[in-house]
Structure 1
């Protein structure tokens, strides 16, 4: 088969397979789903070969996606990935050179590049106070303590083994293990020890000693720190655990005037639909904001959460200007007084 005769679906599968060895599982999955939207649309337009793609094709696709009322950042990311895909097609001579430049990647305001949704500090405090008093050492208690106090990514917490927790020295060790299914987003550059406070180590110690952790191994013989009954949980399972752990009715009355005994959001499959439950990424965003508000220097926060200070400032620090004044600059006012 000549490269120009590849169908959009065949080219898509070939591109993702080509990128997989150099990408994390998360990145490969992201590529897969971003391009899946385009491939399915192209098939509905009866586009049989990539050689049929034109600038008009991409113009119509962008218009169709924008009409689906998706977030501006989502549209931008999908069109950016599509341009990378077409550049690959240019390289293998499946399409004419320069076709990728006909793909419009919309520009967006800095405020639209990331979501403002986060686990707010008061909500995190109320949840952790409840867990420390009434569910000390439960899996969801230990999970939320780590997510909130460390600010790590979903893939990083999923990849932790029991041996990565050092109770006596009070730290967690994050390691890149792509060969056994738990890569870090930044690979070797994501490896680091992260110090833990007393409440976090107390929660982890209780979690490991009271029998809350399933005593299982994963498919590679490793003992995951946060284990499911079947071994190492999938990313989606950890995501669901986090939604369940952040339901507001756990520590108080429902802010949405619903009866928790009859609310479908308290069910595992529906927890993500609760307006106040939060995903691991939203907990990470709240944690980073809280750490900065607590006076931890941005350079230190960057190492703990494995992100550059610029990335933190642009994507994760969701404090309002008033909050920055009160929590981060107010303490310096006394230093500005003229000495008598």
Structure 2
């Protein structure tokens, strides 16, 4: 009973919609808006299913119901998508167990599909030879050197950063002197959060050629604008800081293969609408920021970087890199392992000789 004599609500009487809303409110304090929005969409589907089968309170839910929902969703979506949805549902039910709104251990009855790592990720990436061809073109072009597309590709490829991190960079975050780098900073109060918040903050060193291209862009091609918070975005649109969708369009434009050679799709370049702003994403060879990040991480690993160093540079974990980003072909993997064996273990192998 409350102090006024009115009985407090029974948590088992929460409707599925109320339960999801309560869970999302709890998660907002320790998660990005993008993450919360994704969970909200997944849980909306579960709420709609509960409505369709007449489940009015979470206290009614049993293991059989959760298995029914799994069966329904598994017939409609890809296994990797199903895995994400079921993990979100599991986290919701762990929260509801803490509230004593559902039977204890009900979350353990939520089935998670057992996927191979290859099933969880998209193999599409910007291949290293294509990245090299694109960067060579931009670096040698009188027309396109130091353009926004050039600056974007230099940053995206050489830092392996996420789309949100690239969007968040300000002019003040660049140091282009003798030891050039950019610094990624978490600034949620002015609309540029990093995915991993403060743990995503880091300086990332740049090659000299990348720094020179950025300097040319800043001095000659960058729009001299501020965003609505008075900050000066490094990658700037005419009206200020670009939206995430605008960054994605710039990525597609920057990676069009007809920039450096013949069209691989037998299109007439002069007449092809894929090289127009609104249609660049339709080109089968253009790449999104995530696909550039995947290619960059694979390239770093193939160049001999230890996974731990790559993970620190791109703000990820070694396990995530191995499961989702490392898209080396079998021969590249074998070569990488041989090189690592020689670099790290050959001195130790020599110590195994018997001495007289």
Query: Residue in 1 aligned with 2:168?
Result: 159
**Cα distance in 2 for residues equivalent to 1:260 and 1:46:** 57
Give unmatched runs, 5+ long, in structure 1: none
**Cα distance in 2 for residues equivalent to 1:270 and 1:43:** 40
Query: Residue in 2 aligned with 1:244?
Result: 253
Q: Does the CA contact (< 8 Å) of 1:247 and 1:266 recur in 2?
A: yes
Shifted more, 311-320 versus 147-156: the winner is 311-320
Q: CA deviation at 1:333?
A: 7.3
> Is residue 191 of structure 2 the alignment partner of residue 188 of structure 1?
no
Shifted more, 136-145 versus 323-332: the winner is 323-332
**Cα distance in 1 for residues equivalent to 2:60 and 2:279:** 42
Q: CA deviation at 1:305?
A: 1.2
Question: Residues 51-130 of structure 1: matches in 2 within 5 Å?
Answer: 51-70=59-78, 72-130=79-137
**Cα distance in 1 for residues equivalent to 2:260 and 2:328:** 24
Task: State the Cα deviation string for residues 202-238 of structure 1 (Å, max 9, x = none).
Answer: 111111111x322222232211111223322222321
Give unmatched runs, 5+ long, in structure 2: 1-8, 351-356
Q: Does the CA contact (< 8 Å) of 1:295 and 1:328 recur in 2?
A: no
**Cα distance in 2 for residues equivalent to 1:16 and 1:269:** 35
Q: 2:183 aligns with which of 169, 173, 178?
A: 173
SS in 2 for 1:194: strand
**Cα distance, 1:66–1:263 mapped onto 2, change above 3 Å:** farther
TM-score (structure 1 length as normaliser): 0.88
Q: CA deviation at 1:81?
A: 0.7
Q: CA deviation at 1:262?
A: 4.7
Q: CA deviation at 1:6?
A: 3.5
> Is residue 147 of structure 2 the alignment partner of residue 138 of structure 1?
yes
> Is residue 304 of structure 2 the alignment partner of residue 295 of structure 1?
yes
**Cα distance in 2 for residues equivalent to 1:68 and 1:79:** 14
Question: Residues 182-221 of structure 1: matches in 2 within 5 Å?
Answer: 182-210=192-220, 212-221=221-230
The number of equivalent residue pairs is 336
Shifted more, 88-97 versus 137-146: the winner is 88-97
